[in-house]
Amino acid sequence: MITRRTFIQKTSVTAASIPFIPKLIPQFDSIAQSASGEVLRVVLMGLGSYANRVAKAMETCTRAKLVGVISGTPSKIEEWKKQYNLPEKNCYTYENYSEIESNDDIDAVYIITPNSLHCEQTLKVAQAGKHVICEKPMAINAKEARQMVDACKMAGVQLLIGYRMHFEPKTLEAIHLRSSGQLGTPLFFQGLSGFRIGDPKQWRLNKKLAGGGAMMDIGIYSINGARYMLGEEPIWVTAQETKTDPIKFKEGVDETIQFQMGFASGAVASCLSTYSMNDLDRFYLNGTNGFVEMKPSTGYGPIQGRSHLGSLTAAVVTHQTVQMDAMAGIILQNETPLVPVDGNEGLKDMIIIDAVYEAVKTNKKILLPELNAI
């Protein structure tokens, strides 16, 4: 078994430099389970392929437990009840899920539905007095994201965004190389995020449901990655769009966008978001004293990485298991992650995505003065 000590030794990370590490990786140390024995009781909303991945990962969680589901498909509800031994009273439809307000067996709802549904569903879950975990992107624009943040704050519940990479060990190892000064002054980030999308009838290519195209689904990884890898917020963005198949990628559904971000420190980021090219899953950060690269950088499989010092050696984990245990600690024990996953973190990404689309439309540099005020 990999202990906290061997994990720290492998990554050259000290407990003082990243105090949240033992809480981020629950299977590394039995002390990760909350002292009170509390477990976050979670309902999944939307039972598609990613919900199946999350549910499977949660089987090995020590701090979070799947206790129910919300779906618009009765047959799926029945299947999940049998597979995960879920009680009838914890299973809801899209018509009656506001009734979770009176169910004391539910702490939080993880929303894993098409992007355009996130805002309304978050508002209803918050109104019911339950914590919200919302898959990224948290909304289809910054206006909706602000509504979600405000609604959860008013209801006194937490809003977390499903940024699983914020808890992934090699990602944290790469961040530590930058934050500890081993890269020197960060100068340049490159983020490549893309794959060839299949079924043209799927919801991700439906503007009404997705709110956009590749940028909303995969480009957000490079936006978010640039921010946590460089450790600062961008102050401007420029962008250019390329569309080779206007039939598959209809108006408002982006196929490929190249975008650039500038930072107050002088660092720059150059990123690509696409639904038309495979083998694009790479982060690269260059500084005055060295570099760190991750490839793959955000995929579900094992993250691989190297730096000028050698290979990244942090342990391989199931991303969603670590994510859900860490989020349980945030909600139940008020723990603070190294990289935020709250609603404001998601809002910042939505502000940048709005700016990317505006830059494509106007061919102008779009300034981002509000990010550091959030």
pTM score, whole prediction: 0.91
For residues 170-183, give the mean pLDDT.
98
CA-wise closest residue to 325 among 87, 3, 22, 8: 22
% pLDDT > 70, the chain: 90
Q: Which two tokens stand for residue 286?
A: 């260059």
CA-wise closest residue to 290 among 181, 134, 363, 161: 181
Q: What type of residue is 260?
A: Q
Q: Which two tokens stand for residue 300?
A: 């579900």
At residue 13 the predicted structure's pLDDT band, cuts being 50, 70 and 90, is very low
Strand partners, 257: 241, 273
pLDDT per position as a tens digit, 185-236: 999 999 999 999 999 999 999 999 999 999 999 999 999 999 999 999 999 9
For residues 125-141, give the mean pLDDT.
98
pLDDT per position as a tens digit, 74-88: 999 999 999 999 999
Scanning 118-168, the segments in alpha helix (DSSP H) are 118-127, 142-155
At residue 37 the predicted structure's pLDDT band, cuts being 50, 70 and 90, is confident
Residue 4 has pLDDT above 70, yes or no: no
When the pLDDT of each residue in the chain is averaged and rounded to a whole number, the result is: 92
Strand partners, 192: 272, 282
Which residue among the candidates 110, 221, 228, 357 is catalytic per the annotation? 221
- DSSP 3-state of 55: helix
Instruction: Tell how strand 305-307 and strand 291-294 pair up.
Output: antiparallel
Which residue among the candidates 124, 136, 170, 348 is catalytic per the annotation? 136
Give the angle 48-49-52 at the CA atoms, nearest 5°.
Answer: 90
At residue 273 the predicted structure's pLDDT band, cuts being 50, 70 and 90, is very high
The pLDDT assigned to 22 comes to: 33
The pLDDT assigned to 326 comes to: 98
Look up 300 and say whether it is catalytic.
no
Domains of the chain are 33-161 (3.40.50.720), 185-288+343-373 (3.30.360.10)
CB atoms inside a 10 Å sphere around CB 305: 21
Residue predicted with more confidence, 16 or 152: 152
Residue 9 has pLDDT above 90, yes or no: no
CB atoms inside a 10 Å sphere around CB 155: 18
Look up 243 and say whether it is catalytic.
no
Phi-psi region of 142 (alpha: psi -120 to 50; beta: other; left: phi over 0): alpha
